[in-house]
Amino acid sequence: MTASADAELISRLAGDDHTALDEAYRAFAHRCKAVAMRTVSDDALAQDAVQEAFLSLWHHRSGLVVRAAGIGPWLVVVTRNVALNLARTSRRRSAREAAHAPPEPRPDPTELAVANIEAAALRDAIERLPDEQRRVIRLAYFGGATLAEVAARTGSPLGTVKRRAQLALARLARTLGGAAR
Amino acid sequence: MIEHPTGLLQSLALGELDRDEAFAVMQHADSCAECAGELADAMRGVAALASAAGAELLPSAKTAVRQRDSRWLVGSLAAAALLLGVWNVQLETTSASVPVDALVHSHFAHHALTGTGGQAKLIQALDGSWVYIVATGLRPLRAYDVLVDGTKIGSLRADLTGNATGYWRRQAGKIASAALAGQDSMLRWDGR
Ligand SMILES: [Zn+2]
């Protein structure tokens, strides 16, 4: 979606136009579902996360953040956040139940091929970050640590870690932005 | 206006906050231009990572549960492979170097090559100036010809596990068909 189409959609959302939400769903639901699946690996939970993100988009439709971030990035992040929260809850539950895990679906190798290409681009973008910013992204995004845990592990003040996270994310947004729109 | 939740904007974008905390921070940022701008930058970065990353770990956030079941282990291995650049090593052994800038900007299309003797995908620049083939399920160590529009542009050899990748530059131009041809197998895409 182009920036101007995005802005137009946001204006219509802000004007309470329900058809704009349908359009956003058609444009972004697929990507949101993929992101949710990577986070929860469960079709029903992933679908719940996507639905909640779109409801949330409607709730925040006239806020400044959607406008500043763009609908796609906003939806991806909110979907991922909802999915992470669902995953935390379901992991606590499954840790208690210690249930038998269902067999993993075999990934389609051709899908993996494209994912790997994107991963190569991603790895390259991460490698180009300054050392201390790369460390924060590795620990916080890929390593699953909170920013407070990153601060403890690296011996840096929390404020510094947050600043590095912000700089790194802004930079990744610029280098990888085309893929994320 | 309440105080700016500056310290929580990155945490929100990275998915560390629970629903109520996230809602409160978002409510503030939705009406504060300064926080909205900073949060939007962080969100675009996380969205770019989430859209490009094949696998990731579950941030532990404030949950005490840290033991990983096999599902998350798979994720962590994939993330580790990504970070160690294993994929790149594989590319280098087949002398394929991916045109990262083109990929980053998504100026590519991909098509499945179907037929017998394996599975393959053709990834091409939209202008046809490069093609990238990735295949799996091939006969180990067997050589295959790569044909674009009926012309052989190169060949590749499957590794011990039957996987192969290759990358070729060519003169820009529309690609109407492609094939991966082996001694007793044929995988092709005919332009639809
Ligand atoms: Zn503020």
Q: What is the pLDDT of residues A39-81, one digit of tens each?
A: 888 888 898 899 889 989 999 999 999 999 999 999 999 999 9
> Are the CB atoms for B138 and B182 separated by under 8 Å?
yes
* Structural domain for A51, as ranges: 3-99
Q: What is the pLDDT of residue A98?
A: 54
pLDDT band (50, 70, 90) for residue A166: very high
CB-neighbour burial class of residue A67 (10 A; exposed 0-12, middle 13-18, buried 19+) = buried
In the predicted model, is pLDDT for residue B86 greater than 60?
A: no
Spacing, Cα A105 to ligand 1 middle (Å): 44
Which of A50, A66, A99 is the last residue in one of the domains?
Answer: A99
Q: If you average pLDDT over residues B37-57, what whole number do you get?
A: 80
For residue B46, the chain A residues in CB contact (below 8 A) are: 73, 76-77, 80, 141, 169
Q: Which residue has the higher pLDDT, B158 or B34?
A: B34
Compute the nearest-CA separation of A19 from chain B (Å): 22
Q: Give me the CATH topology for the region B100-190.
A: Immunoglobulin-like (2.60.40)
Q: Using the 3D structure, point to which of A36, A70, A99 is the last residue of a domain.
A: A99
Reported confidence tier of residue B167, pLDDT bands at 50, 70, 90: confident
Distance of CA A1 to the CA centre of its chain: 17
Separation between Cα atoms, residue B180 and residue B192, nearest integer Å: 17
For B71, the 3-state DSSP assignment is helix
Q: What is the pLDDT of residues B97-150, one digit of tens each?
A: 344 444 433 456 777 888 988 888 887 777 888 887 888 888 887 889 999 999
In angstroms, the Cα distances linking B140 to B17, B108, B158 are 48, 29, 5
Ligand 1 centre distance from Cα of residue B24 (Å): 12
Is residue A78 one of the residues assigned to a domain? yes
Q: What is the pLDDT of residue A117?
A: 65
pLDDT at A108: 53
Give the whole-angstrom CA distance, residue A12 versus residue A137.
35
* Same-domain check for residues A25 and A92: yes
Q: Please count the residues of chain B.
A: 192
**What is the percent of chain B where pLDDT is above 70?**
69
pLDDT band, very low/low/confident/very high, at A180 (cuts 50, 70, 90) = very low
Residue of chain B whose Cα is closest to the Cα of A28: B51
> The domain spanning residue A126 has which CATH number?
1.10.10.10
**Reported pTM:** 0.60
What are A97-116's pLDDT values in tens digits? 654 544 444 555 555 555 66
